[in-house]
Every structure is written in C-alpha cells, then in structure tokens.
Structure 1
Amino acid sequence: MSQPPSTTTTTTKIPKLYSTKAKVYDCILFFLFITVSFILLVSVPVITRGVIFLQPETPQFNVSSSSLTILNVSSNAITANFNVTFSTKNPNRKTMSYEKVVALLLYGNGSLSTITLPPFHQPGKTQKTLQAAFPSLFFQVKDNSSSRGAAVSLTTELHAKAKYGGWTWPVEKDLIKAACDDDVKVEFPSNVTTLVFGSSECDVNGQWKRIVTRCCRIFRHYIYVVSIVLFILFVSL
C-alpha cells in the first residue's frame, strides 16, 4: 500500500513564512517610526524659523526732545502746551508704510489729548522725525506743595497701522504701539514758562513682535524637550 504524503516539509515552511513576514512588518514599522520622528524633529524648527523670518524687524521709536510751555498755574492745576519730537528708525531693508497715525498724551489713567498725524512712508535703513503738538492742556496736580513742587508724569504714545514692503505672514498689517514716558517736574510758584526735556526711549509693541516672541519660545521649549528625549534614548541603549 502507498504511504500518505509527509507533512513535515509543509509544517516547517509555515513558520519560516510567518517569520519572514514578521521581519518585513517590523522593518516597515521601523522605517515609518524613523520617518515620522525625522519629520517631527525637523518640521517644528523649520516652521518656527520660517515664520520668524517672514516677520519684519520691529521699528524703533524714541522721543528726541519735548517741551512744556506753561500758560497758567493755579494752586492745583496747570494749563500748558506740550510739544514732542519723535524719532523713528526702520531697521529693515524694505519700506515701512504707516497709516492712521495717532499721538496720545496720557496723564495718570486718563487721556489729556489726542491728535492725528499724517501718514508717511519710510524707506529701509533710514530715520525720520515726527512733530506732535498738544495745545491748551489742562490737568490737575496731585501734589501742590510750594516747597517740594509737583511731580507730573506724562506718557506719550504713538499708534499707527504699519505695512511692510515685503511678504509677511500670518499678519499683513500690524498695529504698532510705542509708549514713551516723560517725567515733568513743575514747581510752585513757577517763574519758568517753558520747560525743555531730553530724549527718552519708547517701548514698541505689536503683533509682529509678539509672533516672533512666541515662535522663539516654542523653538526653545521644543529644543529642550528633544534634548531630554534624545538623552533618555542614548542612556537606554
């Protein structure tokens, strides 16, 4: 009688087949893991640096000079004209265009006066001066002691919608805000009709600057986390 076919060869081929498929599957998973890890490792720094590159450098503002012409002084109030000269610098290569330029004079928590300045264009790597005159100001003095005088803190601000000559993303136009502090000392009774003050720096802020600050923070945190993960993987090897 004929013997039944042997199943030894078949049973030995099946484990080898599954073993080969498992190795291919592991290789595919490892390749996907390496690819995804590389994309995650490179994409965040590239995107953040790209967004930072697309933002123009924040323009610089400062007060070149300012003067307070006293019209009338009473026991607790001042009537005066305030003139201020702003200096702005465009550190970028391309032109900055400013529209809806508004100058504000603040005293304490309130606004003393608001004036509108004409729009202007500023080519790259140039400086420009702006004149702002606040006439017939009237404000109360908190300290009216004739022996010590009265300390009056005035804050001038410039608000302007700015547009850069190059491509910016994700913000095309930005509302630039420059806040400048001036400390004015008025003595009572005052024999000086005009007080002249020197230069002072302005704190400039806007959405372009906030985007750069946020992206830099994300970039630093990402590098920090990646360094820790790579160190843990290196130690575990």
Structure 2
Amino acid sequence: MGISKTAQRSVTIQLLPVSSSSNPYISQPITSRWASKLVLVHRVLLFALGIVTLICVIMATSLVPQPPKIRLNSLFVSKLNISRGMLGANFDVTFTIENPNLVSWVRFNRLDGSISYKDNVVLTYSLEPFVLGLKQQRTMRVKISTMALEDDDQPVVEEWVLDEVKRQREDGAVELSMEMFAWATYKTGWWGTQFVIMNPQCLDLRVGFLPKVGFGSWISGGPMMCSVPVLID
C-alpha cells in the first residue's frame, strides 16, 4: 500500500531557460558574421583612403605651374645683304606656344626675342602681351626687317660677325639661334598667383641659302621643341 502511494507522487523538475551563450554551436555563426562585416568595412575604408590620397597627389602636382611648351615651326630669311658694315634682311618666324597646365592659366606680360649668331645678337623684336588659358596654345608669326639704313631699335653688329655671316652665306648655310625672355604670371583659380621669368631657347638653327641669292630657309624644316628654362619662380 505504501509503494502505491509513492508511485502516485508526481515529480516536478524546473527547467532553466536556454541562452545562446551557453551553446557554442549558436554563438560561433554570429561572431563569424560580425568579423566578416568588420573586415569588409576595413577594406572599404582603406580603398577610400587610397583614392583620396591619389587625388591629393594629382592635385598637388597639377598646382605646380609647368613651363609652357614652345615649338619652332619655320624660319625663313630673305634679301640678306651685308655691305658697308651693315646687315640687312627680312626674317619670317613661326612658332607655337602651349600652356600644358590643367589648373593654371598664364599671362605673358612681356616677351622680348632675338636672333643671334654665335651669341652675338643680330636683331631683336618684342611681342604684345597675351594670355593662354588652360591647355590652350597659340601659333604666332613674327616678321622682322633690318633693311632700314638706320634703325635705332636694332643692335650694332660687330664687323667680324658680319664677315663670318657673309662667308657662311656664300658657303651655303648660316648657323643661327633664337632666344626669348618672357615675364609671365601664372594664375591658379582665385587662391594662387606666381610670377616667373623664362628664357626660351631654340638653338643650332642651320639656315641654308641658295647660291648667289639672298633667300634662305631652315634646313631641318621643323618643327622643333625649344628648351624653356625658368630663371625665377
């Protein structure tokens, strides 16, 4: 009888709530997902930082004004005459000036040029001020005459220079050089202005002359890129 009463008793067992932390098989996938997201965010931030750095480097490089590119296209000499200690001739020169900058335009405030024989200037000229915009170029034609008997604007040429030019002309070719001094202003947007002096040089220009004729032309025929040293920046 006692055993029957004991069998009829019910046993109540309190169950504890199951948490995810107590089950390693549940917490592992959640941690893995968070780690993947953090790696992805880290990679995106590194990529964005690289892009920003590249843009800054490109902008910094572009903000440094580059000297203009000068290309000599043609050089002709006509009516070359050397007599009584004077050099008379007509010079016809064509060249192109290009502004290679992406963010800076350049204004040529003053440009003085000359043509020389062995560093001895035989004629000079000046150009009017002009402006080159971004990536803009301009082709210019300069015609200079030294045929006037008295020209105060032209330099006095020494006798030995005239003798050598005359002798080379008779031999068929004269070695000349072109040089310019340019006072220019670079303007970058509204925040930057830079003043420079440049010294473009087109050297070793061999001008061939027809026999007993005062007409000559640049033998290589061009075009030729000239060097553009910056004297002051």
TM-score of the two chains, using structure 1 as the length reference: 0.56
May I ask how many residue pairs the two structures share in their alignment?
A: 160
Q: 1:171 to 1:125 in 2, by over 3 A?
A: closer
Q: What is the aligned partner in structure 2 of residue 117 from structure 1?
A: 127
8 Å Cα contact 2:186/2:193 also seen in 1 = no
Q: CA deviation at 1:196?
A: 2.9
Relative to structure 1, the CA distance from residue 147 to residue 119 in structure 2 (aligned partners, 3 Å threshold; closer, same or farther) is: closer
Which residue pairs with 1:217 in the alignment?
none
Please identify runs of 4+ aligned residues in structure 1 that moved more than 3 A.
49-54, 143-148
When residues 147 and 102 of structure 1 are mapped into structure 2, their CA distance, relative to the original with a 3 A threshold, is closer
Deviations 1:150-172 (A, max 9, x none): 532111112111111217x9982
CA distance in 2, matches of 1:97, 1:146: 39
The structure-2 alpha-carbon separation of the partners of 1:64 and 1:121, relative to structure 1 and needing over 3 Å to count, comes to same
- Of 134-143 and 123-132, more deviation after overlay is shown by 134-143
Which one of the candidate residues 174, 183, 190 is aligned to 1:152?
174
1:71 deviates by 4.2
Match of 1:95, SS?
A: strand
- Deviation track 1:5-43 (CA, whole Å, cap 9, x = no partner) reads xxxxxxxxxxxxxxxxxxxxxxxxxxxxxxxxxxxxxxx
Matched, 1:128 2:138: yes
Corresponding residue for residue 207 of structure 2: 184
Letter of the 1:132 partner, please give it: V
Hey, what does 1:203 align to over in structure 2? 227
Change in Cα spacing, 1:53 to 1:143, as seen in structure 2 (3 Å) is: closer
C-alpha separation in 1, matches of 2:125 and 2:105: 25
Q: Please, what TM-score do these two structures have when normalized by structure 2?
A: 0.56
Say yes or no: does 1:173 pair with 2:182: no
Report the structure number with the largest CA radius of gyration: 2
Match of 1:103 among 113, 122, 131: 113
The runs of 5 or more residues in structure 1 that have no matched partner are 1-48, 212-237
Sequence identity (%): 24
Aligned position for 2:88: 79
- After superposition, the Cα gap between the structure-2 partners of 1:62 and 1:68, relative to the gap in structure 1 and judged at 3 Å, is same
Q: CA–CA distance in 1 between the matches of 2:139 and 2:60?
A: 31
1:85 and 1:131 in contact (8 A); partners too: yes
> Quick one: distance in 2 between partners of 1:123 and 1:186?
39
Cα RMSD (Å): 3.6
Paired residues of 1:143 and 1:149 also in contact (CA < 8 A): no
Q: Would the alpha carbon gap of residues 170 and 111 (structure 1) be closer, same or farther in structure 2, given more than 3 Å must change?
A: farther
- CA separation in 1, counterparts of 2:145 and 2:187? 35
Partner residue, 2:36:
none
- Give the match's secondary structure for 2:64: coil
Distance 1:67 1:149, change over 3 A: same
Structure having the larger proportion of residues in helix: 1
Q: What's the counterpart of residue 89 of structure 1? A: 98
1:141–1:70 CA distance, 2 compared to 1 (3 A): farther
